[in-house]
């Protein structure tokens, strides 16, 4: 039996499982059986900002309810598309459901869902990457890859803007996965100092990452920048 896990948009504490009857596929459609997905604080953000950021629009539900988006892996259960075979596996944006029906536009690395109701939404969420057989790293991919995309986009935007003339980037919640990935990208890029803000409990962990400027380096930098130039 197929089901959707739905939440009330007006009160996220109201949830229920809703049985979904099987329906025939239209020409060009594919039905994915969702095998696994990750849960992070990001999913709470999708629900809280569901209306404002149009996250509810990806996977429509009954009036007043929504399906919370997640990132995970799915296998093709049925296909009415010549370019997508039953048994193929994909990674991408899914609902908290057993199944998802998509309208693929096949590309080199997978497909984009071109269903009409998704065309006004951010393209990055409509991409599904083809994957092979199950891998021990799939849980890590589902957990970390979406957050890395966010980090990559921030790094790219800062670079395009020339870091707005700044010489330092300060990251709050420095022990969070998104901040860690961004710090790693910024250190690799070079040109700016990366300063992390964190709690005393996470201080040793954050310093051990090697992505943020260390206290010793910061003291040295302060001395160097305040010292009088020699002649």
Tell me the fold of 2-134. Quinone Oxidoreductase; Chain A, domain 1 (3.90.180)
- Report which of 55, 114, 54 is spatially closest to residue 83, judged by C-alpha positions: 114
Distance from C-alpha of 186 to C-alpha of 182, rounded to nearest angstrom: 6
What are the two backbone dihedrals, phi and then psi, of residue 130, each rounded to the nearest 5 degrees? -70, 135
Q: How confident is the model over 12-57, as pLDDT tens digits?
A: 999 999 999 888 999 999 999 999 999 988 899 999 999 999 999 9
Q: Where are the domains of the chain?
A: 2-134, 140-226
Distance from C-alpha of 53 to C-alpha of 55, rounded to nearest angstrom: 6
Concatenating the DSSP letter of every residue in 153-212 gives HHHHHHHHTGGGG-SEEEESSTTSHHHHHHHHHHHHH-SSEEEE---GGGHHHHHHHS-S
Beta bridge partners of residue 169, listed in sequence order? 194
Q: How confident is the model over 163-196, as pLDDT tens digits?
A: 999 999 999 999 988 899 999 999 999 989 999 9
Query: CA end-to-end span of the chain, whole Å?
Result: 81
């Amino acid at each position: 039996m197929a089901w959707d896990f739905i939440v009330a948009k007006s009160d996220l504490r109201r949830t229920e499982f809703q049985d979904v009857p099987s329906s025939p596929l239209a020409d060009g459609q594919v039905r994915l059986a969702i095998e696994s997905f990750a849960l992070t604080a990001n999913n709470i953000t999708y629900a809280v900002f569901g209306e404002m950021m149009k996250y509810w629009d990806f996977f429509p539900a009954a009036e007043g309810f929504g399906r919370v988006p997640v990132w995970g892996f799915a296998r093709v259960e049925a296909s009415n598309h010549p370019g997508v075979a039953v048994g193929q596996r994909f990674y991408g944006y899914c609902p908290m459901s057993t199944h998802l029906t998509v309208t693929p536009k096949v590309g080199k690395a997978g497909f984009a869902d071109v269903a009409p109701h998704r065309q006004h939404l951010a393209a990055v969420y409509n991409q599904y990457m083809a994957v092979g057989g199950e891998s021990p790293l799939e849980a890590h991919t589902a957990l970390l890859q979406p957050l890395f995309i966010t980090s990559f986009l921030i790094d790219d935007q800062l670079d395009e803007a020339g870091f707005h003339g700044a010489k330092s980037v300060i990251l709050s919640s420095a022990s969070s996965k998104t901040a860690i990935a961004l710090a790693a990208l910024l250190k690799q890029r070079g040109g700016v100092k990366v300063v992390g803000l964190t709690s005393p409990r996470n201080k040793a962990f954050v310093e051990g990452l090697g992505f943020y400027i260390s206290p010793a380096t910061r003291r040295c930098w302060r001395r160097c920048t305040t010292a009088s130039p020699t002649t």
